[in-house]
Amino acid sequence: MRTFRPRLPTSIGSYFAFPLIATIGSVGALGALAWEAFKVGALSYGGGFVIIPLMQFDAVHTYHWMSNAQFLNAVALGQITPGPVVQTVAVVGYAAAGFGGALLAAFIAFTPSFLFVLFGGPHFDRIRASVGVQAFLTGAGPAAIGAIAGAAVPLTLALSHRWQVGVLAAAFVWLVLFRRNVVVALVAAGLIGVAGSFAGLPVGP
């Protein structure tokens, strides 16, 4: 009976080929991450939540940087931390390529904002008066709203445990019906999750 033995590279070229392929692969992954961050920073309307329709499918299904549950955590982290919500891209970058990926994603997502304001600031009056800009927003606004609201469907389907549905229902009442504070909802839900973990509720992926 023949036993399988992995073949070792037999030429000098082969020894270089594997690291080269790995390097090209990682450069490709960083390129994809850079593009995702650029979309959020330079091409998006609707605030920090556009990260959900813009990045969820690619981060979870196309590139497999993170699971659905981890993506939910990324959005939650972006909400409960101070400062811009858009830094959720750093969490996605961390999942894709560690600290370097996080810093790259944050750098690319925020750089367009600096360029727009520092070089466009003197022309803000013209931008506000521009019919073209107004026309663009007239169409982009409702489409962005639809995209963010539509993202609630896959976000709900991403829940893995039945008790989470109860937490979501409570959050819906608190946020959508009573229009109360988002940070309070997230922190309270997190504490419920901690209590649940000690009480034996399933919390893993």
Contact with another protein (CB under 8 A) among 53, 59, 60, 63? 53
- Interface of this chain with another protein, residues 144 to 163, rule: CB under 8 A: 144-153, 155-156, 159-161
- Closer of 24 and 143 to another protein (Cβ): 143
34 binds another protein (CB under 8 A): no
Q: Which stretch binds another protein (CB under 8 A): 2-10, 11-19, 26-34, 194-202?
A: 194-202
- Min CB(191)–another protein separation in Å: 7
Distances (CA, A) of 129 to 6, 42, 115, 125, 135: 67, 21, 20, 6, 11
Nearest-angstrom CA–CA distance, 82 and 70:
20
**Could you say whether residue 32 binds another protein (CB under 8 A)?**
no
The 3-state DSSP class for residue 157 equals helix
Q: CA-to-CA distance for 205 and 202, rounded, in angstroms?
A: 9
The binder of another protein chosen from 17, 21, 24, 176 (CB under 8 A): 176
43 binding another protein? (CB under 8 A): yes
Look up residue 6 and give its DSSP letter.
P
Q: Tell the smallest beta-carbon distance from residue 79 to another protein (Å).
A: 6
Q: Please state, in angstroms and rounded to a whole number, the distance separating the CA atoms of residues 72 and 140.
A: 25
